[in-house]
Structure 1
Amino acid sequence: MEKFHAGSYEKGYQYQYFLPNAINTAWGWESPQINQLVEKAAIKLGELNSFARLVPNIDLFIQLHVTKEAVISSRIEGTQTNMDEALLPEEEIDPERRNDWREVNNYILALNQATTSLKNLPLSSRLLKQTHETLLCNVRGEHKLPGCYRTSQNWIGGNSLADAVFIPPAHHHVESLMGDLENFLHNDQIYLPALVRVAIAHYQFETIHPFLDGNGRIGRLMITLFLVSEGILDQPLLYLSSYFEKNKALYYDNLMRVRTHHDMQQWLKYFLVGVEQTATQGVKTLTEILKLKADIEQLIHQHFGRRATTGMLLLQHLFQRPVINVEQSAGVCQVNYRPANELVALFQQHKILREMTGQSRNRLFVFDPYLRVFDQKDNTL
Structure 2
Amino acid sequence: MEKAAIKLGELNSFSKLVPTIDLFIQLHVTKEAVVSSRIEGTQTQMDEALMDEDEIAPERKDDWIEVNNYIKSLNTAIERLEKLPISSRLLRETHQILLDSVRGEHRLPGEFRSSQNWIDGNSLSDAIFIPPHQDYVGELMSDLENFIHNEDIDVPELVKIAIAHYQFETIHPFLDGNGRIGRLLITLFLVDKKILTKPLLYLSAYFEKNKGLYYDNLTFVRTKNDMKQWLKYFLVGIAETAEKASQTLSNVLELKERLENKINNDFGRKSQNAIILLQYLLKKPIINVNQAKDVTGLTYNTANSLISDFIDADFLKEVTGYSRNRVFIFDEYLKLFYK
TM-score by length of 2: 0.99
Task: Say whether 1:260 aligns with 2:202.
Answer: no
Letter in 2 for 1:326: V
Greater helix fraction, Structure 1 or Structure 2: 2
- 1:54 CA drift (Å): 0.8
Look up the match of 2:148: 185
**SS state of the match for residue 139, structure 1?**
coil
Give the Cα separation in 1 of the matches to 2:76 and 2:320.
30
Q: Deviations for 1:297-338, whole angstroms, at most 9, x for unmatched residues?
A: 111011111101111111111111111111111121122112
Alpha-carbon shift at residue 181 of structure 1 (Å): 0.3
1:307 and 2:251 correspond: no
SS of the residue aligned with 2:336?
helix
How far apart, CA to CA, are the structure 1 residues paired with 2:128 and 2:54? 39
2:49 equivalent in structure 1 = 86
Match of 1:208 in 2: 171
Matched, 1:142 2:105: yes
Consecutive unaligned residues of structure 1, counting only runs of 5 or more, are 1-37, 377-381
- Alpha-carbon distance, 1:94 to partner: 1.9
Q: 1:46 and 2:5 equivalent?
A: no
Find the counterpart in structure 2 of residue 70 from structure 1. 33
Q: How does 1:273-312 map to 2 (within 5 A)?
A: 273-312=236-275
Give the distance between the partners of 1:265 and 1:168, measured in 2 at CA. Answer: 21
Higher relative contact order (CA 8 A, sep 6+): 1
RMSD between superposed Cα atoms in Å: 0.8
Distance (Å, rounded) in 2 between the aligned partners of 1:171 and 1:327? 51
Q: Which amino acid aligns with 1:336?
A: T
Partner residue of 1:7? none
Seq. identity, %: 63
> For 1:310 and 1:71, how far apart are their aligned partners in 2?
31
Work out which of the residue numbers 270, 287, 291 in structure 2 matches 1:328: 291
Q: CA deviation at 1:370?
A: 0.7
Find the aligned partners of 2:325 and 2:79 in 1 and give their Cα distance: 34
Q: CA deviation at 1:191?
A: 2.2
Distance 1:57 1:372 in 2: 18
Deviation at 1:200, TM superposition (A): 0.2
Cα distance between partner residues in 1 of 2:317 and 2:146: 50
State the distance in 2 between where 1:266 and 1:272 align: 10
TM-score with structure 1 setting the length: 0.88
Higher mean alpha-carbon deviation, 360-369 vs 137-146, is at 360-369
State the alpha-carbon separation in 2 of the partners of residues 360 and 321 from structure 1.
22
Counterpart amino acid of residue 152 in structure 1: S
Matched residue type, 1:189:
D
Map of 2:198 onto structure 1:
235
- In structure 2, the partner of 1:221 is 184
Give the aligned partner of residue 165 of structure 1.
Answer: 128
**Does 1:375 pair with 2:338?**
yes
Cα distance in 1 for residues equivalent to 2:280 and 2:174: 38
- The amino acid across from 1:303 in the alignment is D
Secondary structure of the residue that 1:374 maps to in structure 2? Answer: coil
Segments ≥4 residues shifted beyond 4 Å? none
1:104 and 2:73 matched: no
Asked if 1:151 is matched to 2:114, the reply is yes
Separation in 2 of the partners of 1:370 and 1:87? 13
Distance (whole Å) between structure 2 residues aligned to residue 243 and residue 289 of structure 1: 21
- Cα distance in 1 for partners of 2:57, 2:302 equals 31
Structure 2: segments with no counterpart, 5+ residues: none
Deviations 1:196-217 (A, max 9, x none): 0100000000000000000000
Equivalent AA in structure 2 for residue 257 of structure 1: F
Q: Which residue pairs with 1:123 in the alignment?
A: 86
- Equivalent-residue separation in structure 1 for 2:276 and 2:51 (angstroms): 21
In 1, the alpha carbon distance for the partners of 2:220 and 2:63 equals 31
Cα deviations across residues 278-309 of structure 1 (Å, max 9, x unaligned)?
00111110111011001101110111111011
**SS of residue matched to 2:175:** coil
Q: What's the CA shift for 1:60?
A: 1.3
What amino acid is aligned across from residue 250 of structure 1 in structure 2?
Answer: L
Alpha-carbon distance in structure 1 between the residues aligned to 2:314 and 2:91: 42
How far apart in 2 are the matches of 1:65 and 1:282? 9
Aligned residue pairs total 339
Partner of 2:305: 342
**Shift of residue 238, structure 1, vs aligned partner:** 0.2
CA distance in 2, matches of 1:152, 1:48: 41
User: Is 1:272 equivalent to 2:235 in the alignment?
Assistant: yes
Distance in structure 2 (CA, Å) of the matches to 1:124 and 1:358: 48
Task: Give the AA of the match of 1:334.
Answer: G
Q: Aligned equivalents of 1:289 and 1:200: distance in 2?
A: 33
In 2: Cα distance, 1:352 partner to 1:211 partner: 44
- Equivalent residue letter for 2:221: V
